[in-house]
Amino acid sequence: MSTNPTTLFDKVWDAHVVRKIEDGPDVLFIDRHFIHEVTSPVAFLGIENRGIGVMYPQRTFATADHNTPTINQHLPVADPLSAKQLAALSSNAEKYGISIWALGSPKNGIVHVVGPENGITQPGMTIVCGDSHTSTHGAFGSIAFGIGTSEVEMVLSSQCIMQPNLKNAHYC
Protein backbone atom coordinates (compact mmCIF):
# COMPACT_ATOMS: atom_id res chain seq x y z
CA MET A 1 0.00 0.00 0.00
CA SER A 2 1.33 3.42 -0.98
CA THR A 3 2.10 5.92 1.77
CA ASN A 4 1.14 8.77 -0.60
CA PRO A 5 -2.29 7.97 -1.97
CA THR A 6 -2.94 9.38 -5.40
CA THR A 7 -6.46 10.26 -6.43
CA LEU A 8 -7.85 10.22 -9.95
CA PHE A 9 -7.81 14.01 -9.73
CA ASP A 10 -4.07 13.99 -8.91
CA LYS A 11 -3.31 11.63 -11.78
CA VAL A 12 -5.22 13.69 -14.34
CA TRP A 13 -3.80 16.97 -13.03
CA ASP A 14 -0.20 15.72 -13.00
CA ALA A 15 -0.53 14.31 -16.52
CA HIS A 16 -1.48 17.79 -17.79
CA VAL A 17 1.10 19.95 -16.00
CA VAL A 18 3.34 21.57 -18.60
CA ARG A 19 5.36 23.50 -16.02
CA LYS A 20 5.34 23.91 -12.26
CA ILE A 21 6.08 27.44 -11.12
CA GLU A 22 7.72 27.55 -7.70
CA ASP A 23 5.39 29.30 -5.25
CA GLY A 24 2.98 29.91 -8.10
CA PRO A 25 0.36 28.29 -10.29
CA ASP A 26 0.89 25.31 -12.56
CA VAL A 27 0.80 25.74 -16.31
CA LEU A 28 -1.87 23.23 -17.24
CA PHE A 29 -2.52 21.85 -20.75
CA ILE A 30 -6.20 21.94 -21.72
CA ASP A 31 -7.64 19.07 -23.78
CA ARG A 32 -11.01 20.61 -24.59
CA HIS A 33 -12.10 24.24 -24.70
CA PHE A 34 -15.77 25.08 -25.13
CA ILE A 35 -16.72 28.60 -26.14
CA HIS A 36 -19.95 30.54 -26.61
CA GLU A 37 -21.00 33.98 -27.78
CA VAL A 38 -20.73 35.88 -24.48
CA THR A 39 -17.16 35.34 -23.23
CA SER A 40 -15.40 34.66 -26.53
CA PRO A 41 -15.67 37.91 -28.62
CA VAL A 42 -13.36 39.93 -26.36
CA ALA A 43 -10.93 36.99 -26.13
CA PHE A 44 -10.78 36.75 -29.94
CA LEU A 45 -10.24 40.52 -30.14
CA GLY A 46 -7.31 40.08 -27.74
CA ILE A 47 -5.55 37.47 -29.88
CA GLU A 48 -6.26 39.50 -33.00
CA ASN A 49 -4.76 42.65 -31.41
CA ARG A 50 -1.68 40.62 -30.46
CA GLY A 51 -1.35 39.28 -34.01
CA ILE A 52 -1.57 35.62 -32.98
CA GLY A 53 -3.97 32.82 -33.78
CA VAL A 54 -5.65 29.91 -32.08
CA MET A 55 -3.01 27.30 -31.25
CA TYR A 56 -5.17 24.17 -31.53
CA PRO A 57 -8.51 25.05 -33.16
CA GLN A 58 -9.43 21.35 -33.31
CA ARG A 59 -9.50 21.30 -29.48
CA THR A 60 -11.96 24.21 -29.26
CA PHE A 61 -15.70 23.79 -29.79
CA ALA A 62 -18.16 26.66 -30.20
CA THR A 63 -21.89 26.66 -29.70
CA ALA A 64 -24.45 29.44 -29.66
CA ASP A 65 -25.78 29.22 -26.13
CA HIS A 66 -26.45 32.10 -23.76
CA ASN A 67 -28.27 34.59 -26.01
CA THR A 68 -30.26 32.15 -28.09
CA PRO A 69 -33.97 31.53 -28.42
CA THR A 70 -35.11 28.01 -27.57
CA ILE A 71 -37.72 28.06 -30.34
CA ASN A 72 -37.91 29.73 -33.74
CA GLN A 73 -34.16 29.77 -34.17
CA HIS A 74 -34.70 30.35 -37.89
CA LEU A 75 -35.93 33.89 -37.11
CA PRO A 76 -33.56 36.84 -36.60
CA VAL A 77 -32.51 37.38 -32.98
CA ALA A 78 -34.43 40.42 -31.76
CA ASP A 79 -31.92 41.80 -29.25
CA PRO A 80 -29.20 43.74 -31.15
CA LEU A 81 -26.39 42.94 -28.68
CA SER A 82 -27.26 39.23 -28.68
CA ALA A 83 -27.39 39.19 -32.49
CA LYS A 84 -23.98 40.91 -32.64
CA GLN A 85 -22.42 38.41 -30.21
CA LEU A 86 -23.84 35.46 -32.16
CA ALA A 87 -22.51 36.89 -35.43
CA ALA A 88 -19.08 37.41 -33.83
CA LEU A 89 -19.01 33.79 -32.62
CA SER A 90 -19.76 32.49 -36.11
CA SER A 91 -17.27 34.85 -37.74
CA ASN A 92 -14.48 34.00 -35.28
CA ALA A 93 -15.10 30.26 -35.53
CA GLU A 94 -14.88 30.46 -39.32
CA LYS A 95 -11.81 32.72 -39.27
CA TYR A 96 -9.87 30.46 -36.88
CA GLY A 97 -11.11 27.05 -38.09
CA ILE A 98 -13.11 26.17 -34.98
CA SER A 99 -16.06 23.75 -35.10
CA ILE A 100 -19.29 25.60 -34.41
CA TRP A 101 -22.86 24.60 -33.75
CA ALA A 102 -24.68 27.81 -34.55
CA LEU A 103 -28.39 28.51 -34.25
CA GLY A 104 -30.37 25.92 -36.18
CA SER A 105 -27.60 23.32 -36.12
CA PRO A 106 -28.89 19.93 -34.96
CA LYS A 107 -25.96 19.75 -32.48
CA ASN A 108 -26.55 23.26 -31.08
CA GLY A 109 -27.23 23.29 -27.38
CA ILE A 110 -26.17 24.25 -23.90
CA VAL A 111 -22.40 24.77 -23.84
CA HIS A 112 -21.79 22.55 -20.82
CA VAL A 113 -24.01 19.77 -22.21
CA VAL A 114 -22.88 19.45 -25.86
CA GLY A 115 -19.54 17.90 -24.89
CA PRO A 116 -20.96 14.82 -23.18
CA GLU A 117 -23.81 14.58 -25.71
CA ASN A 118 -21.37 14.45 -28.62
CA GLY A 119 -18.66 12.30 -27.04
CA ILE A 120 -16.18 15.20 -26.83
CA THR A 121 -15.94 15.00 -23.05
CA GLN A 122 -13.90 11.95 -22.05
CA PRO A 123 -12.42 10.62 -18.80
CA GLY A 124 -8.93 11.87 -17.97
CA MET A 125 -9.27 15.19 -19.83
CA THR A 126 -8.92 18.79 -18.74
CA ILE A 127 -11.86 20.91 -19.91
CA VAL A 128 -12.55 24.63 -19.59
CA CYS A 129 -15.23 27.05 -20.71
CA GLY A 130 -16.29 30.59 -19.90
CA ASP A 131 -19.31 29.20 -18.05
CA SER A 132 -19.62 28.44 -14.35
CA HIS A 133 -21.42 25.14 -15.01
CA THR A 134 -18.39 23.63 -16.77
CA SER A 135 -17.51 21.65 -13.66
CA THR A 136 -20.37 19.27 -14.51
CA HIS A 137 -17.99 17.57 -16.99
CA GLY A 138 -16.24 16.23 -13.89
CA ALA A 139 -19.00 13.62 -13.66
CA PHE A 140 -17.28 11.98 -16.65
CA GLY A 141 -13.91 11.63 -14.91
CA SER A 142 -12.38 14.84 -16.20
CA ILE A 143 -11.07 17.96 -14.49
CA ALA A 144 -13.32 20.77 -15.63
CA PHE A 145 -13.87 24.34 -14.50
CA GLY A 146 -15.24 27.67 -15.62
CA ILE A 147 -12.87 30.44 -16.64
CA GLY A 148 -13.05 34.18 -17.33
CA THR A 149 -12.64 36.04 -20.60
CA SER A 150 -8.89 36.70 -20.19
CA GLU A 151 -8.39 32.99 -19.53
CA VAL A 152 -10.45 32.14 -22.62
CA GLU A 153 -7.91 34.24 -24.56
CA MET A 154 -5.03 32.43 -22.82
CA VAL A 155 -6.39 29.00 -23.79
CA LEU A 156 -7.16 30.08 -27.37
CA SER A 157 -3.60 31.34 -27.82
CA SER A 158 -1.62 28.68 -25.94
CA GLN A 159 -3.95 25.74 -25.13
CA CYS A 160 -2.74 26.18 -21.56
CA ILE A 161 -3.92 27.97 -18.46
CA MET A 162 -2.14 29.06 -15.31
CA GLN A 163 -3.96 27.50 -12.41
CA PRO A 164 -3.09 26.79 -8.79
CA ASN A 165 -3.44 23.10 -8.03
CA LEU A 166 -6.95 22.73 -6.70
CA LYS A 167 -7.22 21.21 -3.25
CA ASN A 168 -8.75 17.76 -2.93
CA ALA A 169 -9.09 15.30 -0.11
CA HIS A 170 -7.02 12.12 0.08
CA TYR A 171 -8.82 9.15 1.52
CA CYS A 172 -7.12 6.05 2.88
Question: What are the tens digits of pLDDT across the range 17-43?
Answer: 999 998 889 999 999 999 999 999 999
**Span 104-109, mean pLDDT?**
84
Q: Residue 119 and residue 22: Cα distance in Å, rounded?
A: 36
Long-range contacts of 113-117 (CB under 8 A, 24+ apart): 114/34, 114/61, 114/63, 115/32, 115/34, 115/61, 116/140
**Span 159-172, mean pLDDT?**
74
Domains along the sequence of the chain with CATH: 23-69+76-163 (3.30.499.10)
pLDDT band at 1 (very low <50, low <70, confident <90, very high): very low
**Span 86-91, mean pLDDT?**
95
pLDDT of residue 5: 61
pLDDT band at 167 (very low <50, low <70, confident <90, very high): low
The helix (run of H) or strand (run of E) holding residue 11 is helix 8-16
For the ranges 38-52, 70-84, 103-117, the lowest mean pLDDT is seen at 70-84
Q: Residue 61 and residue 75: Cα distance in Å, rounded?
A: 24
pLDDT band at 172 (very low <50, low <70, confident <90, very high): very low
pLDDT band at 171 (very low <50, low <70, confident <90, very high): very low
